Amino acid sequence: MPLSAVALGGVLDLLSVGVCVWELEVPGERESLVLRICNPAAARFLNVRVEDVLNKQIAIGFPGSLDTPLPGVFTQAIESQTTMELGDVPYKDEIVPDGVFSVVVRPLSESRALVEFTNVTDERRAQAKSEAMLEAAEVARSEAQAVAKSAKALDEKLQVIEAQKRDIIALTAPILEVGAGVLALPLAGNFDLQRSEIVREKLLDAVSATKAREVVIDVTGLGEMDEMTANELVRLTRSLALLGTRAYLTGISGANAQALVSSNAQIPAGMCMRNLESALRLLRDRRGRASAGPG
């Protein structure tokens, strides 16, 4: 073997890129391609032993290869004397079950071509995995945005419902102006913390707007009172007192009176009256006497 060929073989053995040289023995017949050179890198990539494929026709050394486009590409490069860059080529046969190679075919002579290829299977798989992960992340981001949008819509709906609930509660506790500087607040149903807050806010606003000096809170329609209800009523009367307004409670049933006595709520006896009518009569009498002055 000439020295140049020996030196070339040594160089090819050191390359990390796979190099094969194919010879077209019969022009135009891709079946006549014979492998003349196969460096160690190519043997590793193709998962073959050099002695099993060297100097053998392509169909013998690589069974199933004629079912792929590569033999035709090698033949075309040789006959057209044109370098062909194939980019990433998927390769699948009995030798290489599943692989992707970056392939460049260069003509060497009228009958030979050098095929330079790099196994990029792992890189492409990693790239595909990364792209899949990015796609999954984008899907997750879109889903998160949809959830956030739904949550925002739900929150807005809940706010509307809460506002409607407050309006309904306010309607069940109408504030009536029954005389000059006198307001009446008839309560019915249950008087829980939320309702107490809404009613107190509405009543204080009405007192400020009308400059009312007395408020009669009628509890005839309230359900069974407990300590919480009693405490909320006391809190309501104290809030009115801070505005200089005196509160009166009317319509306390016997059962509720007993419950109030048993609780820790401290409701002054002078604040309680039999019913709304008697409270209004008392207030009118007081105002009448005040207007008449000392006789």
Q: Are residues 91 and 181 in the same domain?
A: no
Structural domains of the chain, count: 2
Decide if 52 is inside a domain. yes
Read off the pTM: 0.45
Contact 95, 48 (CB under 8 A): yes
Residues forming beta bridges with residue 35, ordered by sequence position: 22
- Same domain for 177 and 246: yes
The residue segments making up the domain with residue 91 are 3-120
Per-block mean pLDDT, blocks of 10 residues, the chain (295 long): 51 78 93 93 84 92 87 92 80 57 88 84 69 80 83 80 63 79 88 85 92 91 82 88 92 82 73 85 77 58
* Residue 3: predicted pLDDT: 43
* Residue 58, domain CATH: 3.30.450.20
What are the b/e assignments for 243-269, b being 16+ CB within 10 Å?
eebebbbbbbeeebeebbeebebebee
Q: Which of 120, 139, 154 is the last residue of a domain?
A: 120
Containing H/E element for 168? helix 121-171
- The H helix count followed by the E strand count for the chain is 10, 10
CATH of the domain at 211: 3.30.750.24
Q: Is residue 93 part of a domain?
A: yes
Q: What is the CA radius of gyration of the chain?
A: 49
Q: Tell me whether residue 142 is in a domain.
A: no
What integer pLDDT is reported at residue 150 of this predicted model?
81
Residue 155 lies in a domain: no
91 and 200 share one domain: no
Same domain, 266 and 196: yes
